[in-house]
Amino acid sequence: MTRHSHLPLEPENSATTTTLPANAIPTPSTFNDGLPLPKMMVFDLDYTLWPLWCDTHVSGPIKGSKDNGRTVYDAYGGSYGFYSDVAGILATLKQRNIVIGAASRTSATEVARSMLTHLRVPFTAEDSKETSAKAIGMFDYMEIYPGSKTTHFQRLHKKSGIKYEEMLFFDDESRNKNVEELGVVMHLIRNGVTVAEVDKGVEAWRKRNGRTKKEASG
CA distance 131 to 125: 8
**Which of 71, 78, 85, 82 has its CA nearest to residue 56?**
78
Active site residue 85: no
Strand-by-strand arrangement of the 167-171 sheet: 141-144, 99-104, 40-43, 167-171, 185-188
Query: What stretch of H or E contains 157?
Result: helix 149-160
CA distance 168 to 181: 13
- Report the first-to-last Cα separation within the chain, whole angstroms: 45
For CA atoms 39, 197, 122, 72, the dihedral sign is: positive
Active site residue 74: no
Q: Could you say which of 44, 74, 85, 172 is catalytic?
A: 44
Which DSSP state fits 9?
Answer: P
Q: Could you say which of 33, 46, 67, 127 is catalytic?
A: 46
Q: Which residues are catalytic?
A: 44, 46
